[in-house]
Chains A and B, each alone.
Chain A
């Protein structure tokens, strides 16, 4: 058993507790050190996990040593390892960015412990093999995010936070109802066991209802089409560092859960629902990008683009094949990195001008050329221009789409890519390229702490684009692992399957 799977969960919770204990001013250096150490450990661990899964396949362990369909299983496969790695990378960069961009007063209100709890919830959601446990990890990360989004307590934050909380509570309720219905139907919530029992369910219509409820629940957290309105109204209100990490992690956990539950556990249902999922994916892409065009605030534009990018992730799901899931994973990993980078750079520009209103900004390319270069590389990556990573993410999705004859959605995806670039160029023109209205010499200069986190992520995106062969190979394996529910069952419960393990334990 792979008992090391608990380490990425233990490290943030211990560090969060220590950081709460050492909140006092004179111990702050210690708290910061512990936070950085814990996240660095998670990053190193997840890199090792990626290597381990590449060479040995799925890793499984059972919490408290309770055997499989009864206890809580933790499973790591390629998809969870990639997501784990990207999320700890983003968290590390966010903490570094926060150290230089954020008022130290935030630390009195437990900013770093909340970030660690967010990482804990996200990592738990990526690793768990039990649907109810997934619900609990969602609650952990949502509670941390409720704290983070309202920290600072200004009026727009509370307004945005209220919308965020209400919609997420509705989503969680749907999640819980779906869990209850699923347990009533198949009598288990272990993902492997559910997948196995799903094959011989007597009443298929209720399974469709449960699958739709799960889609609603995760869709509301991932911000797919009819349920995305909370995102652009709340994401621009907290400090830039918080928005950046939210954009990198929160909606993507929803997308990952859709992959895990619909793509793996409810595979039969996914095949049936695929056309509707693709429809929602296409509309999400288009509405997101059109919404972005109407905005005149840096972070609001980027927030609408989050919605649009989620459409691509959902498209990977809607293709309902191993290739589609693999392409979606590749795209999601890329967009997490690039989106966070753009929020960092946009946040740095906002900090220079003291506002995010495009009309009041301008002339930054002359004053801060480094910032401008990394922004431009970032939008190239987001739009999908080679050699940046975005190109390979989109190519993989389009390839999978065209191979399966889904021409319409592939066309929409390509079209949305152009619109994305167009809409990003608006920020480029307004913030960096056009002439400054007033005298810029009094504005603060960008500090290395503001520039480097975003720059590092853009460089990582470039590196992923240059080394795309390896990454594509790995995500293809991960997609096949994700799609292969029978192999998942064998990894979790042994060669006989979960039903046999269940019967044997009861006897």
Chain B
């Protein structure tokens, strides 16, 4: 361990704690309005990821990992799965893949929703997972690889 990173700023910690629920709520709001107003799964996902990354900056990667105790790559896989599945109802109904279905009347508070929301949800999960994973790996890198990497063996990929 060459350098300990310190995460002690009282102002940042208070603000980060306050911002966590606000940012997460905002991200859901972004997600649900995205299909016909500015917002959407990608932006919502970035907002949610920024909430977690803010905790990481204030409290360190250990704490940040504790917010969502899940393997982020599995979350990304689930996101892709959800996003790819949204087009399937159309195929079953003998329409081209990804043809959208909408409910006829808007739901109060949420608005008019349909199958594209499922797609947005998948994108949302994938973006949270990938962005957070990258940020956490970058933050943990000095601890994961404490020494300069030793020279690899020459001569191509390791065979069996």
Contacts and interface: CB of A to CB of B under 8 A. Distances in A.
A and B are partners in one complex rather than unrelated chains: yes
Interface of A: 1, 3, 6, 9-10, 13-14, 16-21, 23, 61-65, 101-103, 110, 151-157, 236-239, 350-351, 354-356
A21 B95 CA distance: 29
B91 A3 contact: yes
A63 B97 contact: yes
B88 A3 contact: no
Interface centre among B81, B88, B91, B159 (most CB of A within 10 A): B159
A119 to B, nearest CB: 14
A154 B158 contact: yes
B153 interface: yes
Interface centre among B100, B153, B158, B160 (most CB of A within 10 A): B160
B131 interface: no
Given A6-B96, A157-B156, A13 B76 contact: no
B98 interface: yes
Given A20-B73, A155-B152, A63 B96 contact: yes
A237 B160 CA distance: 15
Interface of B is mostly: loop
25 contacts: A3-B91, A3-B96, A6-B96, A10-B87, A16-B80, A17-B81, A18-B81, A20-B73, A20-B74, A20-B76, A20-B80, A62-B96, A63-B97, A64-B100, A101-B159, A101-B160, A110-B73, A154-B153, A154-B157, A237-B157, A238-B156, A239-B159, A351-B159, A351-B160, A355-B155
A77 to B, nearest CB: 18
Given A156-B154, A156-B155, A103 B160 contact: yes
A239 B157 contact: yes
B94 interface: yes
B77 A20 contact: yes
Contacts of B91: 3, 6, 10
B77 A21 contact: yes
- Give 9 closest A-B pairs by Cβ, nearest first: A20-B77, A6-B97, A152-B157, A17-B81, A17-B80, A21-B77, A65-B99, A64-B98, A17-B77
Contact of A65 (B73, B74, B96, B154): B96
A13 B74 contact: no
A355 B155 CA distance: 8
A21 B160 contact: no
Given A6-B87, A61-B96, A63-B98, A21 B159 contact: no
Contact of B151 (A155, A350, A354): A155
B113 interface: no
A75 B74 CA distance: 34
Contacts of A154: 152-158
B75 to A, nearest CB: 9
B135 interface: no
Nearest to B126: A17
A33 B77 CA distance: 17
B84 A64 contact: no
A502 B150 CA distance: 61
Contacts of A17: 77-78, 80-81, 84
B130 to A, nearest CB: 11
Contacts of B73: 20, 23, 110
Nearest to B73: A20
A351 B156 CA distance: 12
A155 B152 CA distance: 6
Given A3-B95, A21-B78, A14 B85 contact: yes
A23 B78 CA distance: 13
Contacts of B81: 14, 17-18, 21
Contacts of A10: 84, 87-88, 91, 97
B14 to A, nearest CB: 37
B84 A18 contact: no
A101 B157 CA distance: 12
B95 to A, nearest CB: 6
Contact of B157 (A19, A20, A238): A238
A62 B98 CA distance: 10
Determine which residue in A64, A101, A239, A354 has the highest number of CB atoms from chain B within 10 A of its CB, and name it.
Answer: A64
